[in-house]
Structure 1
């Protein structure tokens, strides 16, 4: 079972060639679980991951966990990792089925392990996470009613995160991260990986459309606000901000079957792209990934949109930008996936997961065009019935 999809912010080709991806053996992972968490491992197996390393662990009584080892690059930002861990627990306490970290025997929610995985000694953040039941949406025959409830849950997650309080929320100002939908134009610096592929022209056209039709509207999107509050002169300022998960994809949402062949979300995974951002970005990301493996991809947008707007209605500029934001995220996934596959060929198959159906999808959406696709989405959303 796939339990995590982590997307590492890319580095320029002239930066350090050291591979940040951990390569812990089963034996070393077993030792970490026992040494730091007191877990005597009965069974352990590797789980797929983008740039981290995940292990499915079962102890002697039969309890399952996920041992998550972050790549060495992201492990450097312990403040951000701590905030991601806090957000998971915060949501879980408010009824969202988020994966959470389990304390070590000394009460820590994460540890730093230094080891040499064949690229010199590096430090990796290690967390033991709760195991959540279910299968990814990719692996499940979800219906449009299920997608409505996914859209509703995704909006609820972002609305709930408005209440998150921490003195470290400023680390979520991640304006430079390539995977932010505010940074679609940065794709131009990576298009050489698509040289010779006709799809490159489509990606270029999406970027140009984004720059002319979306970028000028971003300041009108519902997004981040912040204020500083001091309750006492001796206390640090507390920063309140709007936050998005940033990667609520088909791989990061687990579902379990319920009555009448429907499904409910049983797990929300991977908070590595937690950031300040526009709410419509979250919606576009979710629609894009849920379209990938759906046998009727054009039916996805309306159902997810209806669920989302039951919690947070879009304004007119957000509605007018949704199609290009969905295409933008799809182009990001295709281009950056191909870039990372060249850089880390040992994980090529997983890094190119989106490319399997994404190439066909982006071509289809671009051919249909903004007007037709948006008409389909918004008509479906306006006529959607949860009982259908």
Structure 2
């Protein structure tokens, strides 16, 4: 696999030096964590506590305001009772800093943060019980309700117009459609885009707007065992896609991704919807568009992944992880149709809520 030229490549001794000099902590254990375009080290401090030293890639380093807002949001959500990482301040009192580092090809600037370490494993690694999926929906809604109260002088940076991963940007997929030429899936994606334009877009003004995480997926939710032999959510990570969107976008994204690891994907929506609506009930327009928004997210995943592979063919395996699992789910939901899937989701959600 070819190296990502923007990705930092610090040695362990360089990482130890940064932790000692800037945070006055002594690493007793230090190991690398996997990451695609940043560099992460897990650190146990002799003074107590576990942390993640995160060195941002040189591209994202050029967006310090965006990184500052993501860091601020994590701290804000933690203060509001959600299991997010928090940024540890440097000895000089800063939540992040810019450092010139030589990773072997000359000095480059990188943004550096030290975040608290969250216990747990990815939710994709454990069985998705209805109760856990309910908690996923409930947590996602609580997160967005809290984010809607967040104040910051530069929040407008998160408007992110034409952000390709926003569900407002579905029409932008059309310019990448050639990557599906010759694939029967092309007709499915075209049909979903048509439904987005004719069913979703006209009702967009009725969607409640808010700041959303934007990537509440099976790799960004951590869980750990609870007292009743099940699992509880122990962490929410990766705020890199945070943007101003709509509450229903977050719900659709959550359902789409949580279906990827479930043996019967259609069962996922009801429990997540029940959890979500225990905090933030949908209005009529949001309910009517949920099906097409879930399919739109699956289409985004497929088309953007295929396009990315044309740019980075050496990284195909990594880039196609989610979309490979999403393709059969997209086909199945599309074939079942809106009416049948909605009946399954909404009836299941009602029964789940009645049982609470």
TM-score normalised to structure 1 length: 0.84
RMSD between aligned alpha carbons? Answer: 2.2
From the superposition, tell whether residues 60 and 175 of structure 1 become closer, same or farther in structure 2 (CA, over 3 Å).
same
Where 1:293 maps in the other structure, the secondary structure is: coil
State whether residues 145 and 387 of structure 1, in contact with CA within 8 Å, keep that contact through their aligned partners in structure 2.
no
1:193 to 166, 179, 199: 179
Unaligned runs of 5+ residues in structure 2 are none
**Quick one: distance in 1 between partners of 2:90 and 2:312?**
32
Matches within 5 A, 1:172-183: 172-183=158-169
1:280 to 248, 254, 274: 248
Where 2:85 maps in the other structure, the secondary structure is: coil
| 1:294 CA displacement | 1.2
Tell me the matched-pair count.
353
Task: Please tell me whether residue 255 in structure 1 is matched to residue 241 in structure 2.
Answer: no
Where 1:292 maps in the other structure, the secondary structure is: coil
Matches within 5 A, 1:1-388: 19-60=5-46, 63-115=49-101, 122-223=108-209, 242-345=210-313, 347-385=315-353
Where 1:288 maps in the other structure, the secondary structure is: helix
| 1:95 CA displacement | 0.9
| 1:197 CA displacement | 3.0
| 1:352 CA displacement | 1.9
Q: In structure 2, what is the equivalent of residue 237 of structure 1?
A: none
TM-score normalised to structure 2 length: 0.91
Q: Which moved more, 1:119-128 or 1:362-371?
A: 119-128
Structure that is richer in helix per residue: 2
| 1:53 CA displacement | 2.6
From the superposition, tell whether residues 82 and 386 of structure 1 become closer, same or farther in structure 2 (CA, over 3 Å).
farther
Question: Cα deviation per residue 1:130-177 (whole Å; 9 max; x = unaligned)?
Answer: 101111110112310111121111111111112211211111211221
From the superposition, tell whether residues 335 and 34 of structure 1 become closer, same or farther in structure 2 (CA, over 3 Å).
farther
| 1:194 CA displacement | 3.1
